[in-house]
A and B are shown apart, each in its own frame.
Chain A
Amino acid sequence: MSVSVNNFSIKIATVNGSGSQTSNQILLKSLFRTGIPVGAKNIFPSNIQGMPTWYYLRASEAGYTGLQLKADITVALNDQTLIDDHQNAQAGSVFIFDSKSKNTFAASRDDLFYISVPFYELAGQASEQVKYKKYLVNSVYVGVVSELLRLPSNLVEETLTEFFLKNENVLRQNRNAFSLGVKFVREKLSDIQLPIKIVPTQKNSNQMLIDGNTAAALGMLYGGATFASWYPITPSTSLMESFEKFCQKYRVSDDGKNNFSVIQAEDELSSICMTLGAGWNGARSFTATSGPGLSLMHEAAGYAYYAEIPCVIWNVQRAGPSTGMPTRSAQGDISAAYYSSHGDTHFPLLLPGHPEECFEFAQLALDIAEGLQTLVYVLSDLDIGMNIWRTNQFRFSDQRFNRGKVLTSENLEQMALQGQRYQRYFSAESDGVAARALPGTRHPDAAYLTRGSGHNIKGVYTEKENEYIEVVDRLEKKWQQSVLVLPEPVIQDQGFDVGIVCYGSAAEILLETIQLLAEKNIHCDYLRIRSLPFHSKVKEYIQRKKMVYVLDLNQSSQVFDLLKVHYPEYWQRFNSVKHYSGIPMQAIELANRIAESENKNKGADNE
């Protein structure tokens, strides 16, 4: 048996609502603290208690932390899925199961290495209270697995302690359970040598482990968001709950007053409208939602566009039409956001690829919204939002917030003295942005009635063709110009003929895919889009390639379609690769799909 160093993946099958998440995270963080790059994907049900959950934990010396379904170790703690988990185990892998499960399945595969552990019995020994047993099984498993991996037990115990600090009783019992797991391995399984090995290293010194929703909440905190309204919806809920929690800690002034307001609304119609109301009145405001909520927000989005109100919608995408699969990931809302609302509307979109960008784009989105006086969409997804990623440690920005063009009463007075009259919706400037006087500005020229109905440059109701066109043409220009302040694509161009174009959470599998392809003697580079409308560098990149694989994590090839619409002259170069099962795409899958296509092309060339 060859031994793999710092490269392995573990699949842990548990029942949701059993507390297994905490244990999974303890194991993940302990591994992270050995300095090895790690990643984790939680495949969980839309349910509170009793349904199957799988946790895929991956360690990779090279930093390839994307999903890898082929596990070197399976920890089968869920009787409901035991038969399947057993059947799906990879040949040559280790299969760890509860001793009692022998009654329900036959450990009969000769290509697996079985380890039987009395998890439930040990959990029973860890506490005299029966009700804790199902929870404590998880800490037993952490003890067993970490000891099998020869992780330093003090490091794991320290991590475990951090997780249970709040409750001494719970901490004590989990420590017991953990120690019993460790002890069991030392006493009963000491001769077992796993085919994987951990050698501590220093790869995580500037890294952190965080999910994208928490990162976004921190970004909104550091970006100066003062108002947020939301309606609970998976997978965006944790973003707002984190934001509120951070505000309670960091945004209460010395006199005990809150320098923020977070309102849980009655529905998404109201959450976006409250956000707009606050944005209209000068607060840096945002809402967070997911697909069904996004659908409800479209009317208000058009209002924000036409009345030019700054605000941010952070949409954490989930899979499927309608209710779909709330706990599965996708990038299915790109078109819905890009073409959001009725009539002629256009919005800037930000597409973060990992938690670090969630932190940065949250701050940026607020600046762009106020800078351009428009609604900005940020499209994350469940994979980034709810899974814990290894990401660069966040950088502090001491830049001033961009509050946009705001006219004070002094500015208005100055203008009046020069014989100019403030016109809310007029701009002669190249960015197309018209200055606004905020509500409450004490000057006779300041007031106007904001409206979503047809209006002229003064904001006065109109149905005159030329007056209407003058305003909407400026809005279109403003949107076109937004590329100048939106994040450029990330490009790695080594001059190969073949390129991958992708966006969002696909960032995690890019480098590994390119490596896997190189091993097959297929060489390609990549461009990762980070915003829409398309930056000119996207076109330039396409021009340099003979073949462009456009990866969409949706069924309808949404960005592939957008590229064809915007760059029809290159339509023959575009090749759509899509993945829409709800779980993140694996690098191996993407590499195989591209290799298959490339080999076919080569075959065709040879004919």
Chain B
Amino acid sequence: MSNSSLTRADYTGGKSTLCTGCGHDQITQNIISAFFELGIDPYDVIKTSGIGCSSKLPGYFMSKSQGINSMHGRMAPIATGAHVANTNLIYIGISGDGDSASIGLGGFAHLIRRNVKMIYIVANNGVYGLTKGQFSPTADKKSILKSGRRNFYEGIDICSFALEMGCDFVARTGSSNTKLTVNILKQAIQHAGTAIIDIVSPCITFNNHEGSTKSYDYLKEQSLPLVEVIHSLPAYDAKDKRLAVRLLAEAKEKEKILTGLIYRNENTEPFHQYTNLTATPLRELNEQQLRPSITDLQKLIQSFT
């Protein structure tokens, strides 16, 4: 799978059409770095997305990898079906906060519950960019829109939610934190089940003002690296789920963005394993393997007479 003869250029894609300064473009670069540094063959990678600014990303990296830019909120089930059909490929999905936490929350929750092996990025900017800046459900309570409108609803915390749904790989980072993001992505690529990465990725056009809790400034000032929180907990290795839940809750109380690999269970059992699915891509199974014999049919018919 690893191919050392590839250069970084082999991991690039089309030109971005996002706004200049968009956090999402940083995510693209981080993805390119992670796959390049691991030397993964782009032919082994499948890119998936939903609809929204985030979901344009599969067009901007690894153009030799096949991809599916699906429907709004439907990346999770589309990726689930795709993965089951061929478990030998690496699936990376880029969704947004509206795509995953609003219209697609059901599918998002159940993909995690099933533990479908994939890297699932939520490019999280707290607003709907393509429709010009309405609040998304990850917007923090009392954060303010550019127009001055205030959000009265509880914000959905992607990481806490993922933990609650039983996710065995939960991480958060900021799009501008290249080092951490690439590091987490590399670990996520090697994770055996669903890996959820919440990447706070500022929307330069609609959510980068004062009063926003997803702006570049807020991200810079209020980020709380996990390593700083846990320096008093020397044994912390992201394996303690209760502690992870507690740390997330505490960070939320303090209105901080907790970043790092928050929880990981290396003994995770993904969907294709516990359902005992064949490793052969389903499309390669032939008539011989799929069609019961004429004798079987005759016996079946007998049972209906």
A residues at B contact (CB < 8 Å): 32-33, 204, 207-210, 218, 221-222, 224, 226-227, 229, 250-251, 253, 256-261, 263, 265-267, 269-271, 273-285, 299-300, 303, 307, 393-394, 396, 398, 400-401, 403, 437-442, 444, 446-453, 461
Contact = CB atoms under 8 A, between A and B. Distances in A.
A442 B81 contact: no
A285 B81 contact: yes
Given A250-B296, A269-B77, A278 B69 contact: no
B43 A278 contact: no
Interface of B: 42-44, 46-47, 58-59, 63-71, 73-74, 76-86, 88-89, 106-107, 109-110, 114, 275-283, 285, 287, 289-292, 294, 296-297, 300-301, 304-305
B283 A281 contact: yes
B81 A218 contact: no
Contacts of A260: 282
A300 B76 CA distance: 13
Contacts of A204: 305
A269 to B, nearest CB: 7
B81 A274 contact: yes
B77 A209 contact: no
A398 B295 CA distance: 12
Given A226-B290, A258-B278, A448 B81 contact: no
Residue with the highest number of chain B CB atoms closer than 10 Å, among A226, A227, A251, A256: A226
11 contacts: A224-B291, A227-B84, A250-B292, A260-B282, A269-B73, A270-B80, A273-B81, A276-B78, A277-B80, A447-B63, A449-B58
Given A394-B297, A448-B66, A440 B88 contact: yes
Given A224-B285, A277-B70, A282-B281, 12 more contacts: A222-B292, A226-B85, A226-B285, A259-B289, A273-B80, A274-B78, A274-B80, A277-B83, A396-B297, A439-B82, A450-B68, A452-B71
B305 A439 contact: no
Contacts of A280: 68, 78, 81-82, 85
Contacts of B280: 259
Contacts of B70: 273, 276-277, 303, 452
Contacts of A437: 66
A385 B63 CA distance: 46
Given A222-B291, A447-B64, A450-B67, A263 B297 contact: no
Contacts of A227: 81, 84-85, 282
A285 B58 CA distance: 25
Contacts of B88: 440
A401 B68 contact: no
B129 to A, nearest CB: 16
Contacts of B73: 269
Contact of A222 (B85, B110, B297): B297
B68 A449 contact: yes
Contacts of A400: 287
A348 B243 CA distance: 55
Given A277-B77, A277-B82, A266 B106 contact: yes
A208 B81 CA distance: 35
Contacts of A210: 304
A279 B81 contact: yes
Contacts of B44: 440
Given A250-B296, A277-B85, A270 B106 contact: yes
A440 B81 contact: no
Nearest to B69: A451
A259 B106 contact: no
B69 A450 contact: yes
Contacts of B278: 253, 257-259
B85 A273 contact: no
Nearest to A453: B69
A554 B81 CA distance: 34
A348 B126 CA distance: 41
B107 A273 contact: yes
Nearest to B110: A266
A67 B84 CA distance: 43
B75 to A, nearest CB: 9
B289 A253 contact: yes
Given A227-B84, A275-B81, A257 B276 contact: yes
A275 B79 CA distance: 10
A94 to B, nearest CB: 29
A438 B305 CA distance: 43
A274 B111 CA distance: 11
Contacts of B86: 281-282, 439-440
Nearest to B88: A440
B82 A278 contact: yes
A-B pairs, 3 with minimum CB distance? A277-B81, A282-B283, A273-B77
A172 B251 CA distance: 66
A448 B44 CA distance: 14
A447 B78 contact: no
A449 B59 CA distance: 7
Given A250-B296, A447-B66, A393 B84 contact: no
Contacts of B74: 269-270, 273, 300
A172 to B, nearest CB: 23
B292 A281 contact: no
B79 A438 contact: no
Given A226-B285, A281-B86, A283-B282, A270 B77 contact: yes
A437 B84 CA distance: 18
Contact of A208 (B80, B275, B305): B305
Contact of B109 (A207, A251, A266, A453): A266
A267 B46 CA distance: 25
Contacts of B294: 396, 398
B276 A281 contact: no
Contacts of A442: 43
Residue with the highest number of chain A CB atoms closer than 10 Å, among B59, B114, B281, B290: B290
Given A208-B301, A227-B85, A273-B107, A439 B46 contact: yes
Nearest to B302: A208
B294 to A, nearest CB: 4
Given A278-B81, A449-B47, A449-B59, A224 B66 contact: no
B282 A226 contact: yes
B276 A218 contact: no
A227 B66 CA distance: 21
B82 A256 contact: no
Contacts of B297: 222, 394, 396
Contacts of B58: 449
A208 B80 CA distance: 38
Nearest to A391: B304
Contact of B67 (A269, A275, A449): A449
Contacts of B79: 277
Contacts of B66: 437-441, 446-450
B20 to A, nearest CB: 19
A222 B296 CA distance: 10
Given A303-B70, A450-B69, A452-B71, A259 B84 contact: no
B110 A440 contact: no
B205 to A, nearest CB: 20
A271 B60 CA distance: 29
A92 B129 CA distance: 75
